[in-house]
Amino acid sequence: MSSKHRHDTYWFISVPAEGNKSVVFENLKSKLSAPGPDYAEVYQFIIPEFKIGTLDALVVISDELIKYDQSFESTAFKIVDILRTLLQGDLDQVAANLIVNDKSVEQFLKTFQWDTMKFRAEKSLQEIAQILNKEVASIDNIMKNKSGHYNQIKGNLQALERKQTGNLAVRNVAEFAKKEYFILDSEYLETLVVAVPKNRYKDWNSKYETLASMIVPRSSQKIAEDNDYGLFTVTLFKRVSDEFANKCREEKFVVRDFKYDENDMENQRKEFEEVGAVEKELAVELLRLATANFGEVFTSWIHLKALRVYVESVLRYGLPPDFMSAVIRPKFKMDKKIREILNNLYGKLDGLAYGRDENENIEEYQNFIDKDYYPYVYFHLEFDIYKR
């Protein structure tokens, strides 16, 4: 997908606010986005203040939030996969259904506001995280059950559809069967249907009466034909049916498992129609549910990102909380340039990870193990459905 943006990749960062969040934000924005350099879009990511317990408690919840983050991401992409299946792989249609609070993913992040009614800031960080996790886990379970039921019905429909397609060696015989082709209600005789390869018609006509004893002479007639096979009827005594079927297999003639029964054929037709109607109904309902629940999951996911930024900022910068948080959406192939700018702006925050050379340029220590560690708080979200 060609675009100036690398679609739906977002960085969540925070840096010390030094008592003035708006000044720090505007300074960051001026270094990264138009009308100056055009390396990224930058949005302020406003997070309320929360009740803070002990340092040990913050470390514990930081670890829990990592697990929740991975779980929320998994649930969000499961829903995307459901939409992809329902919309037959049309990714533009999938993207059109990824709506969060009546907004696109990008617009939701650009205008993010903490839901103070649903996730009250006076609750502990642990309580808020558990509320978020409980909600997403519930949605994950609902979607698992609903999609499982839909896939079962869809599988049933596909099995029925396979009987209506394919060549005459496998296709449902009922659509070609007419009552006059068959001997019915006979104590001794029955009519079989055999799929004969088109290049073996001559062999069939010369051999079928001799494949077993007690075959009714000249009883075979062709009732259907496709590119590969012809369907032929043959009438014989019931007691030689097995012998005849075995001889047919040796000759590569396919005896079809079919008995003419009008009630059975009508029931098959009704089943196909009913299963098809149920599949359509469930698909519509699952599409509605997936679209609605994606919005709920993504909302919870971004609230969780906010918690992670808050907790990590307090652990990194100390108390009282005084930091500016922002969302950066890098433009195509601009990651490295943005990193350089951020390191020049904030490299002094952490001498352990970064040092300055003689020319005052920021350089990462080569032996630093965690490649995602930066002197500023950093988390990312990559939500590019076109790359999956």
Look-up: residue for tokens 């001799």?
A: 210
Residue 335's pLDDT band (cuts 50, 70, 90):
very high
Tell me the range of 5-9, 41-45, 354-358 where mean pLDDT is highest: 41-45
pLDDT value for 371: 57
Q: Is 330 exposed, middle or buried (0-12, 13-18, 19+ CB in 10 A)?
A: buried
Q: Whole-number mean pLDDT of the chain?
A: 90
Residue 229: strand pairing partners = 197
Q: For the residues of 63-96, what is the DSSP string, one character each? A: HHHHHHHHHHHHHHHHHHHHHHHHTTT-HHHHHH
Look-up: residue for tokens 């055009």?
A: 38
Sign of the Cα pseudo-torsion (67, 70, 73, 74, in order) = negative
Sign of the Cα pseudo-torsion (45, 49, 53, 54, in order) = positive
User: Are residues 185 and 213 in contact, defined by beta-carbon separation less than 8 angstroms?
Assistant: no
| Whether pLDDT at 344 is above 90 | yes
**Of the candidates 78, 117, 11, the residue with the CA atom closest to the CA atom of residue 294:** 78
**Of the candidates 379, 315, 305, the residue with the CA atom closest to the CA atom of residue 53:** 315
pLDDT value for 360: 41
Is this prediction's pTM over 0.85? Answer: no
pLDDT value for 366: 35
For residue range 116-158, list pLDDT tens digits in order: 999 998 899 999 999 999 999 999 999 999 999 999 999 999 9
Residue 262's pLDDT band (cuts 50, 70, 90):
confident
d(CA 55, CA 368): 25
pLDDT value for 79: 97
DSSP single-letter state for residue 51: B
User: Are residues 328 and 5 in contact, defined by beta-carbon separation less than 8 angstroms?
Assistant: no
Q: Which residue has the higher pLDDT, 155 or 355?
A: 155
pLDDT value for 163: 80
Query: What H or E segment, with its residue span, contains residue 16?
Result: strand 9-16
For residue range 173-217, list pLDDT tens digits in order: 998 999 999 999 899 999 999 999 999 999 999 999 999 999 999
For residue range 305-334, list pLDDT tens digits in order: 999 999 999 999 998 999 999 999 999 899
What is the rounded average pLDDT of the residues 367-380? Answer: 74
Residue 55's pLDDT band (cuts 50, 70, 90):
confident
Q: Which residue has the higher pLDDT, 357 or 157?
A: 157
User: In the structure, how many helices (H) and strands (E) does the chain have?
Assistant: 9, 12
| Whether pLDDT at 34 is above 90 | no
User: Are residues 197 and 229 in contact, defined by beta-carbon separation less than 8 angstroms?
Assistant: yes
Could you tell me whether strands 221-225 and 229-237 are parallel, antiparallel, or unpaired per DSSP bridges? antiparallel
pLDDT value for 5: 40
For the chain, list the domains and their CATH numbers: 9-156+278-382 (1.20.1460.10), 178-259 (3.30.70.100)
Phi, psi of 74 (to 5 degrees): -60, -45
pLDDT value for 388: 61
d(CA 55, CA 318): 10
